[in-house]
Structure 1
């Protein structure tokens, strides 16, 4: 989910491979964004090449179908049913953009992200097309609540339409026009629909409970809402980016590449063998 805009990937190869290798010049000013972008490699290649990533995506959409059916069977209200989904890394895969950043001496920018949106080349997440079509076939409606900016509307609409997704129109495609807080848009849907479930890759896709300032608060919010995961909230795997990255930086997205590198590594729980 792009609740704060697309950011450079945080998860280093050390996190995925289970080992830590600290750069000798981690705190030096000459540490470049190009070097920081090398930390994109393991997360991105896992998203693009591993069968495990695809399996987790299928698992999420299979579970979503089960929960949609369960909600529908028990539903006794008068409103039509809706499913709310995020777009990026929930129903469409933008890993090609993050792969493009590898080897470059710059990170995410609204300019290059705008070009990516306009290209309308994101692929469907595994299982997304089938699930969204199923919801529509059962009389449900799909709402896409994304924090893509309004400037990306036409490219986003084209992309989702080309993938054959249902309900790709102005009433159902709710972009970020004034705030990254998705709660007003969720409430807008809830005025006329009963929401069967929500799907996202970022905690802020689900509830304002998760609009927290730090990692500890996020952990507490997850504990508070743990019964909803797998029932009302369906989480997609995204090891690449998200609000959690900004919390590593204490909200300082403008930190230097060297500072971001160090803050990422400082957040690791490192095993130290006995001497």
Structure 2
């Protein structure tokens, strides 16, 4: 900026601040919004996921329901293909809330670098009820497929993590990671060619069907209404208030928006009571 122009801008800013009763530094602090400040919004969701008994109860509920539905399919199925259960990984059978907790206090958001380090560390814990359910499926003769949008570069750490947790069918044939697309439909179809998929379990609507690959919140709501009979029967949903495709829809797909813009777009969708 040219020095004289800068001086004019600075003088105008001071005069405006003086008239409004706000010091320049105070005015700047009100207009600047950092990624660290945005990350503070993760606190309540992450605390709930890590500490509340309600979160654990919902996870147990999901897998108890999954067992009931798997048993029903197993009793009634007359086909020739073996039965399979398709599960997502993150926030479905393994808990990554420690990574979310690490972001709190950092002036950076999710990145492939730090997420890669987290995957390599192989420290994610099992979701409550996941180990028991997956072991039950295997004991009944079913197979488990892990269709995850973790990048294939994280295969080694992911495999180790799942093996350390004692999950069944942890091999390259059953872990289907993202390669060129985040669309899970081709991988689901790959499983369906040789197996009857009894259940799909996930924390994100795109874990279930391409009906949910929508571009906005209203379209997602409509897709849920269209498929509502499948939730609790074919589709088993796990709670995840921390992150997901739903967040990108708040931003109209603009993940590169500034922290201030994301903060505003999050608040713009709130239904606010006015006394």
Q: Distance in 2 between matches of 1:272 and 1:253?
A: 31
Identify which of 145, 148, 162 aligns with 2:147.
Answer: 145
1:184 counterpart residue number:
186
1:91 counterpart residue number:
93
2:270 counterpart residue number:
268
Report the RMSD for the aligned CA atoms in angstroms: 1.4
Match status 1:41 vs 2:43: yes
Residues 1:74 and 1:206: Cα distance change in structure 2 (over 3 Å): same
Residues 1:228 and 1:112: Cα distance change in structure 2 (over 3 Å): same
Report which of the two has the higher share of helix: 2
Gaps spanning 5+ residues in structure 2: where? 1-25
Aligned length: 250
SS in 2 for 1:196: strand
Identify which of 65, 75, 78 aligns with 1:76.
Answer: 78
Residues 1:62 and 1:25: Cα distance change in structure 2 (over 3 Å): farther
Radius of gyration: which is bigger?
A: 2
TM-score, L = length of structure 1? 0.89
TM-score, L = length of structure 2? 0.89
Contact 1:44 1:240 in 2 (8 A): yes
Gaps spanning 5+ residues in structure 1: where? 1-23
CA positional deviation for 1:178:
1.2
Answer 1 or 2: higher relative contact order, Cα 8 Å, separation at least 6: 1
2:253 counterpart residue number:
251
Q: Distance in 1 between matches of 2:109 and 2:227?
A: 34
SS in 2 for 1:132: helix
Divergent runs of 4+, >3 A: 24-29
Contact 1:26 1:258 in 2 (8 A): no
CA positional deviation for 1:25:
8.2
SS in 2 for 1:40: helix
Contact 1:26 1:261 in 2 (8 A): no
